[in-house]
Amino acid sequence: MPEETPLDRLNAAEPAQAEQALLACCASRRWADELLVRRPYHDIAGLRQVSHTVLESLTWNDVAEALAAHPRIGERADGAGQEAGWSRAEQAGAAASSATTQEDLVAGNVAYEERFGHVFLICATGLSGEAMLGALRQRLGNDPDTEQGVVRAELAKIVDLRLGKAFAS
């Protein structure tokens, strides 16, 4: 008998348990609920495709709910949960940056939040603190509608990576 995969466990889990596993990937309850009702998934590609479709349909309030779970770039995520662990690993490049870059990230986060009203979100995996800071500074020049599109794209990248970590065999 083949070994049960993480995707098999998601498919078989009680709704509340499956929702918790999905919310670690994206903190939008609507996103998680939409993925729950579409179970079972036969492979990770199918799960990612459904995720992508649902992410595109989220309202800005749904996206804002997801953003609220993300720490600022350069801030260490609290907690022992899976999502916090992923966040710390994803932001490793910021943590390894010079003190000046870290200070500039703090100031940039404040300016960004004042301009757009939410946390600066970037798929930080594999990026240096300097690269994140450069993107933050560039994106401060975006108009709000353009920036919402960029945020949605960055969220989709993060969610896709986390789905792979959580449910790929």
User: Residue 90's pLDDT is what?
Assistant: 77
For residue 35, which of 72, 66, 4, 60 has the smallest C-alpha distance?
Answer: 66
Identical fold between 1-69 and 70-161: yes
Give the DSSP H/E element, type plus range, for residue 152. helix 144-167
Q: Is the pLDDT of residue 56 over 80?
A: yes
Q: Are 159 and 2 in contact (CB under 8 A)?
A: no
User: Measured between alpha carbons, how far is 164 from 32 in angstroms, rounded to an integer?
Assistant: 15
If pLDDT is split at 50, 70 and 90, which confidence band does 16 have? very high
Q: Is the pLDDT of residue 148 over 80?
A: yes
The length of the chain is 169
Q: Is 74 left (phi over 0), alpha (psi -120 to 50) or beta?
A: left
When pLDDT is averaged across residues 9-38 and rounded to a whole number, the result is 97
pTM exceeding the 0.75 threshold for the entire prediction? yes
pLDDT digits (tens, 9 = 90+) for 66-105: 999 888 887 766 666 777 667 767 777 777 788 899 899 9
Residue linked to tokens 């992923």: 86
User: Residue 77's pLDDT is what?
Assistant: 62
Which top CATH class is 1-69?
mainly alpha
Domain boundaries, the chain: 1-69, 70-161
Which listed CATH number (3.40.190.10, 2.60.15.10, 3.30.470.10, 1.10.3330.10) goes with 70-161? 1.10.3330.10
